Amino acid sequence: MAKNKTVYVCQNCGAESPKWIGHCPACKEWNTYREEIITPSPTVMSASNAPRRKPELLSGIEVSDSDRITTGISEMDRLLGGGMVKGSLILMGGEPGIGKSTLALQLALACRDRRVLYVSGEESEGQVKLRAGRLPGENDQCFIYNETELENVITQAGMINPHLLIIDSIQTLRSTLLESSAGSVSQVRECTAMMLRYAKETGVPVILIGHITKDGSLAGPKVLEHIVDVVLQFEGDGNYVFRILRPVKNRFGSTAEIGIFEMAGNGLREVTNPSELFIRRDRDPASGVSIAATVDGLRPFMIETQALVSSAVYGTPQRSSTGFDTRRLNMLLAVLEKRAGFRLAVKDVFLNIAGGIKVSDPAIDLAVVSSVLSSNLDSPVGHNTAFAGEVGLSGEIRPVARIEQRILEASRMGFGQIVISGYHRNIKEQNGLNIRSVVKIESLVKLLFS
Ligand code: TYD
Ligand code: MG
């Protein structure tokens, strides 16, 4: 028998090296190399012993709707492009405590009258039972299995023959064929490959839960994302109740959709009307608050941006933002300084996007600028105005994508006016919604504060 070989594997990108190195030449991360032992047993996932198949004519291949399984969670079905495709491998990643196990268990309970095998390597059967007691839905065909050994999981899955298999989490699973510890790159890769083979051979959809490393990528190598069919990212700020489920990769649907959930005492609730949650219009208008019509994926919603501008206490003014890129904030402040003559360089500026969610939509610029100006002048913008526009370096207000959707959402939410870029063409007036066009920062200032 051949000798065991020791290699050092980067836990971030999966690169291998015969000796330990501190700095990964492939992904440039530091201190990511770990020793792993490779047993030269025939690899578990060798494609050669898969059943031989013949090429088929595309027109002759039959598919039906029954190739998708609808879960009881409509937000999830929509994200996946109309339900889980049979035999698909779905990876759900997210930070610890974000609610991955909760969502997975809720899904298992919502799949009414279908056999589901929920494998938990992190919680005992009793703990899962306790959690299930708090969640909505009931499924008397839901099996809970506390196991970390891959081979046992496969054996049990073969006996139970479930309609859906959930693995919580892929990092706790280990194959006895490999020496390295659970969670190491080679284990994660091997276990995922094995689950892929199981899914493709049996046609059972498999959901893998994966942890995310501190820099936001899925723990384990990028390779994982290539193996699986769907990658769903579960994100949100642990201090807030909102969670966003975002497909990063989807072989069977669009990646432009997002699902929004709210974490409540009894599990995750689907949010069908996000605008109502992210804006508060019941209190008196305050200065420094304006509302942006944003689009995330394909979903338009209204969100509140809040700014506080005060005289700098120290020599260097502070700039801080939550939910919005600080560099972009600095850029917008520089534009205000240069193009509109506001002396913001001697001011502390704080920016916050309500609800603890992160936005990267450039159309939110206009609302950010309005909030900053409003706080600086201590003059409220009012609840009746929405904003959608990007601000350029020369102070021009640039047009943004999906403007019709934004206008429609503002009108649906009962806004009186929406401020957009004057460069948009053929904008249809909406019932009761005034459209105000601006082309420059100066005209925005005039429109709002004079
Ligand atoms: P969990 O699903 O265990 O997170 P993950 O698997 O991603 O690590 O979710 C943990 C958090 O969710 C925990 O902090 C408590 C909260 N939670 C609720 O608020 N309500 C509930 O009904 C449940 C089950 C959890
Ligand atoms: Mg968990």
Both 281 and 243 in one domain: the answer is: no
Both 249 and 388 in one domain: the answer is: no
Local confidence band at 214 (pLDDT 50, 70, 90 cut-offs): low
The structure tokens listed for 302 are: 């209204």
Q: What are phi and psi of 410, to 5 degrees?
A: -65, -40
Distance CA 128, CA 124 (A): 6
Both 143 and 104 in one domain: the answer is: yes
Q: Convert the pLDDT of each residue in 350-378 to its tens digit.
A: 999 988 788 889 999 999 999 999 999 99
Q: Measured in angstroms, how far is the CA atom of residue 172 from the centroid of ligand 2? A: 11
Is 47 part of any domain?
no
CATH code of residue 236:
3.40.50.300
Cβ < 6 A, ligand 1 pocket: 94, 96-102, 131, 134, 263, 265-267
Highest-scoring range by mean pLDDT, 39-43, 50-54, 60-64, 335-339: 335-339
Q: Measured in angstroms, how far is the CA atom of residue 267 from the centroid of ligand 1? A: 7
Is 59 part of any domain?
no
| pTM as predicted | 0.78
In this structure, are residues 182 and 171 in contact, taking their beta carbons and an 8 Å threshold? yes
Distances (CA, A) of 247 to 90, 134, 230, 379, 421: 10, 27, 7, 40, 30
Domain assignment of residue 24, given as a range: 5-38
Both 106 and 227 in one domain: the answer is: yes
pLDDT at 259: 87
In this structure, are residues 47 and 60 in contact, taking their beta carbons and an 8 Å threshold? no
Q: Which ligand is nearest to the CA of 93?
A: 1
Q: Whose CA is nearest to atom 20 of ligand 1?
A: 265
Atom of ligand 1 nearest to the CA of 263: 19
Q: Measured in angstroms, how far is the CA atom of residue 221 from the centroid of ligand 2? A: 20
In the chain, % of residues over pLDDT 70: 93
What distance lies between CA 6 and its chain's CA centroid? 36
Is 368 part of any domain?
yes
Is 53 part of any domain?
no
Q: Whose CA is nearest to atom 18 of ligand 1?
A: 265
Q: Convert the pLDDT of each residue in 102-138 to its tens digit.
A: 999 999 999 888 899 999 998 999 999 999 999 988 8
In the chain, % of residues over pLDDT 90: 47
How do the residues of the chain divide into helix, strand and coil, expressed in percent and rounded to 5?
30, 30, 40
Both 216 and 348 in one domain: the answer is: no
Q: Convert the pLDDT of each residue in 394-410 to its tens digit.
A: 999 999 999 998 998 89
The whole-number average pLDDT for the span 156-167 is 94
Both 139 and 286 in one domain: the answer is: no
CATH code of residue 304:
3.30.230.10
Neighbours of ion ligand 2 (CB under 5 A): 101
Is 45 part of any domain?
no
Distance CA 312, CA 332 (A): 18
Both 230 and 376 in one domain: the answer is: no
Distances (CA, A) of 372 to 9, 275, 279, 293, 364: 48, 22, 18, 17, 13
Is 43 part of any domain?
no
Both 115 and 259 in one domain: the answer is: yes
In this structure, are residues 15 and 9 in contact, taking their beta carbons and an 8 Å threshold? yes
pLDDT at 209: 93
Is 267 part of any domain?
yes
Distance CA 361, CA 293 (A): 10
Task: Name the DSSP class of 23.
Answer: B
Atom of ligand 1 nearest to the CA of 209: 6
Number of domains the chain is built from: 3
The burial class, CB within 10 Å (0-12 / 13-18 / 19+), for 341 is exposed
Q: Measured in angstroms, how far is the CA atom of residue 81 from the centroid of ligand 1? A: 26
Distance CA 207, CA 166 (A): 5
What distance lies between CA 330 and its chain's CA centroid? 26
Is 49 part of any domain?
no
pLDDT at 105: 94
* Last residue within a domain, chosen from 272, 292, 309: 272
Local confidence band at 216 (pLDDT 50, 70, 90 cut-offs): low
Both 80 and 137 in one domain: the answer is: yes
Both 351 and 434 in one domain: the answer is: yes
The structure tokens listed for 239 are: 């201090």
Both 246 and 304 in one domain: the answer is: no
Using DSSP bridges, classify how beta strands 116-120 and 230-235 pair: parallel, antiparallel or unpaired: unpaired
Q: Is 241 helix (H, G, I), strand (E, B) or coil?
A: coil
Both 343 and 410 in one domain: the answer is: yes
Local confidence band at 65 (pLDDT 50, 70, 90 cut-offs): low
* In the predicted structure, residue 42 carries a pLDDT above the cut 80: no
Per-residue DSSP letters for 358-371? ----GGGHHHHHHH
